[in-house]
A and B are shown apart, each in its own frame.
Chain A
Amino acid sequence: MASEPIIRLRGVTKVYGTGPTAFQALRGVDLDIEQGDFVAVMGPSGSGKSTTMNILGCLDVPTEGEFLFRGHHIERLDRDQRALLRRKYLGFVFQGFNLLSRTSALENVELPLLYRGEARAARRDQAMAALDKVGLKDWWDHSPAELSGGQQQRVAIARAIVTHPDVLLADEPTGNLDSERSVEIMELLTDLNQTSGITVLMVTHEPDMAAFARTIVNFKDGLVESVDTRHRQGERVRAH
Chain B
Amino acid sequence: MLGTTFVLALRSIRRHLLRSFLTILGIVIGVGAVVTMVTLGNATTAAVQKQIASLGTNILQVRPGQGFGRGGGGPRPPEFKPEDVEAIEKQVTGVTAVAPQAQTSVTAIYNGNNWSTTINGTTDAYFQVQPWPLQAGRTFNAPEEEAGKAVCIIGGTVSTNLFKGADPIGKRFRVGDVSCDVIGLLTIKGQAGFGGDQDDVVIMPIKAVQRRFTGSRDVRLMLVGVDQAYETSQVQASLTSLLRERRNLGPGEEDNFNIFDTKQISDTLTGTTTLLTGIVTAVAAISLVVGGIGIMNIMLVSVTERTREIGIRLAIGAVAREVLLQFLVEAIVLSCLGGLVGLIIAQIAIVAIAPVMQVDFVFYPGINLIAFAISAVIGVVFGYFPARRAAALNPIDALRHE
Contacts and interface: CB of A to CB of B under 8 A. Distances in A.
A112 B315 CA distance: 10
Contacts of B11: 103, 107
B91 interface: no
A101 B308 CA distance: 11
B252 interface: no
Contact of B309 (A84, A94, A100, A114): A100
A129 B322 CA distance: 26
A92 interface: yes
Given A59-B395, A83-B320, A100 B312 contact: yes
Nearest to A108: B312
A159 interface: yes
B317 interface: yes
A150 to B, nearest CB: 19
A87 B311 CA distance: 14
Most interface-central of B313, B314, B318, B320 (chain A CB within 10 A) = B318
A79 B320 contact: yes
Contacts of A83: 314, 317-320
Interface in A72-108: 79-80, 83-88, 90-92, 94, 98-103, 107
Give the bracket for the number of chain A residues in contact with chain B: 20 to 34
B1 interface: yes
Given A80-B321, A94-B399, A103-B11, A114 B4 contact: yes
A111 interface: yes
A155 B399 CA distance: 17
A86 B4 CA distance: 18
B83 to A, nearest CB: 89
Contact of B8 (A91, A114, A116): A114
B64 to A, nearest CB: 78
Contacts, number: 64
B320 A84 contact: no
B316 interface: yes
A103 B320 contact: no
A85 B395 CA distance: 14
Contacts of A103: 11, 15
Most interface-central of A79, A87, A90, A115 (chain B CB within 10 A) = A115
A111 B321 CA distance: 16
Given A98-B308, A100-B309, A103-B15, A115 B318 contact: yes
Contacts of B320: 79-80, 83
A115 B308 contact: no
A83 B320 CA distance: 8
B7 interface: yes
A182 interface: no
B315 A92 contact: yes
B15 A111 contact: no
A147 to B, nearest CB: 16
Contacts of A90: 317
Contact of A54 (B4, B8, B16, B396): B396
A107 B399 CA distance: 19
Interface of A: 54, 57, 59-60, 79-80, 83-88, 90-92, 94, 98-103, 107, 111-112, 114-117, 159
Given A114-B8, A115-B4, 14 more contacts: A54-B396, A57-B315, A84-B317, A94-B399, A98-B311, A99-B312, A100-B15, A100-B309, A101-B15, A102-B16, A112-B317, A115-B316, A115-B318, A159-B316
25 contacts: A59-B315, A59-B395, A60-B396, A79-B320, A80-B319, A80-B321, A83-B317, A83-B320, A84-B317, A84-B319, A85-B317, A88-B317, A92-B316, A94-B399, A98-B312, A98-B315, A98-B399, A101-B15, A102-B15, A102-B16, A103-B11, A111-B312, A114-B4, A115-B318, A116-B317
